[in-house]
């Protein structure tokens, strides 16, 4: 039986490090915090938000979550700290661990996050790296469970870039027993090691994981149609090429009509309207983007309360 004490002091670097039962427990805790809203779990505790890339949702929702639990936040970025000017991650981690109780970090390389966690003596939470976005996937599956009532037999279609968001969706979905089909152009498929991991997770959970090229092959009969930006942070130089490559992967009314009539439309945001998602679909009745964004707050509150509680 999973309990709160299983999470105390743990890093949250990748959902692969958590069992299906632990992920379900996290989602249940998030639902609990969605109702309860406020607590004292972080009283006299300070959370550092260390962001090397821009953020609206993650940074603000973690700050608000910390406040709602009675704690305080400090922020740091590469530009205005020594981290971007020659001081090592290792030395930074040693020092910061003497000041704060947890570090929420958005970095480029996953390995940097792993290193940070190794040198820090306080829990480190992944606020997005080039390869993973676990906090996003937790909020996504909470949203899916709220709207669909179950994970059993659900088909999630991810259309577009096989990126960090896609990877975490695959890992969490495969653990939770959700079928995940990814459609990406050649050269932009999810990382083979992640797909392998997801396929292994899917065996005990009884779901299937599929990677295809044609958007229609993924979307047909889907309960959820998920997309993300074609150009992730750090890939800006490739934007023009990506715009051409991903054009057929736009989630528009035509593609959506191949999914179930009550399919949810999801996107982690920020959206580039008119590119990966059309205005009518984003603002339409099937879109749950804003609920997804709200659920970041509740899932992160659950994470902080469990890790620091």
State the catalytic residues. Answer: 106, 133, 136, 228, 268, 296
Count of CB atoms situated within 10 Å of the CB of 118: 12
**Using the rule CB under 6 A, which residue among 52, 136, 174, 278 binds ligand CP?**
136
Rule CB under 6 A: which of 17-56 touch ligand NVA? none
- In the chain, % helix, strand, coil (3-state, to 5) comes to 45, 15, 40
Q: How far is the CB of 139 from ligand CP (least distance, A)?
A: 8
Q: Which of 268, 282, 289, 303 binds ligand NVA (CB under 6 A)?
A: 268
Q: Using the rule CB under 6 A, give the single segment among 26-34, 158-166, 193-201, 212-220 that binds ligand NVA.
A: 158-166
Q: What is the CA radius of gyration of the chain?
A: 19
Counting Cα atoms < 13 Å in the Cβ hemisphere of 130 gives: 9
Residues 149-188 touching ligand CP, rule: CB under 6 A, are: none
* One residue of 66, 184, 207, 229 binding ligand NVA per CB under 6 A: 229
Long-range contacts of 19-24 (CB under 8 A, 24+ apart): 19/175, 20/175, 20/176, 20/177, 20/201, 20/204, 20/205, 23/138, 23/141, 23/172, 23/175, 23/176, 24/176
E strands, the chain, where? 46-51, 72-77, 102-106, 124-126, 155-159, 179-183, 209-212, 224-227, 264-267
Among 52, 163, 179, 184, binds ligand NVA (CB under 6 A): 163
| Among 29, 179, 181, 232, contact with ligand NVA (rule: CB under 6 A) | 232
Q: Give the Cα separation of 100 and 96 in Å (integer).
A: 6
Rounded Cα gap, residues 32 and 181, in angstroms: 30
Looking at the Cβ atoms of 163 and 181, the one nearer to ligand NVA is 163
27/165 with CB nearer ligand NVA: 165
Closest distance to ligand CP from the beta carbon of 136 (Å): 5
Choices 66-74, 192-200, 246-254, 265-273 (CB under 6 A): range interacting with ligand CP: 265-273
Binding to ligand CP (CB under 6 A): which residues in 113-132? Answer: 128
Contact footprint for ligand CP (CB under 6 A): 55-58, 128, 136, 268-270
């Amino acid at each position: 039986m999973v309990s709160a004490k299983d999470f105390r002091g743990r890093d949250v670097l990748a959902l692969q490090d958590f069992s299906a039962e632990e992920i379900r427990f996290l989602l249940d805790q998030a639902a609990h915090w969605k109702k309860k809203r406020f607590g004292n779990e972080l009283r006299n505790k300070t959370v550092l938000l260390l962001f090397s890339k821009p953020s609206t949702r993650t940074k603000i929702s973690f700050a608000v979550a910390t406040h709602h639990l009675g704690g305080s936040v400090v922020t740091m970025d590469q530009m205005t700290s020594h981290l971007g000017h020659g001081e090592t991650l290792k030395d930074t981690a040693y020092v910061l661990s003497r000041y704060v109780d947890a570090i929420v970090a958005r970095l480029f390389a996953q390995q940097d996050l792993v290193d940070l966690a190794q040198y820090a003596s306080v829990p480190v939470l992944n606020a997005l790296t080039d390869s993973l976005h676990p906090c996003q996937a937790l909020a996504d599956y909470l949203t899916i469970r709220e709207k669909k009532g179950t994970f059993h037999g659900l088909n999630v279609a991810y259309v577009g870039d096989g990126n960090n968001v896609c990877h975490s969706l695959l890992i969490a979905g495969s653990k939770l027993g959700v079928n995940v089909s990814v459609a990406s152009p050649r050269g932009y498929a999810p990382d083979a090691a992640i797909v392998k991991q997801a396929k292994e997770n899917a065996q005990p959970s009884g779901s299937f994981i599929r990677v295809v090229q044609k958007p229609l092959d993924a979307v047909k009969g889907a309960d959820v149609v998920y997309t993300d930006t074609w150009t992730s942070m750090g890939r800006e130089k490739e934007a023009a090429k990506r715009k051409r490559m991903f054009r057929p992967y736009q989630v528009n009314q035509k593609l959506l009509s191949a999914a179930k009539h009550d399919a949810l439309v999801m996107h982690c945001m920020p959206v580039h309207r008119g590119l990966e998602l059309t205005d009518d679909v984003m603002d339409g009745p099937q879109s749950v983007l804003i609920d997804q964004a709200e659920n970041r707050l509740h899932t992160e509150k659950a994470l902080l309360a469990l890790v620091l509680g």
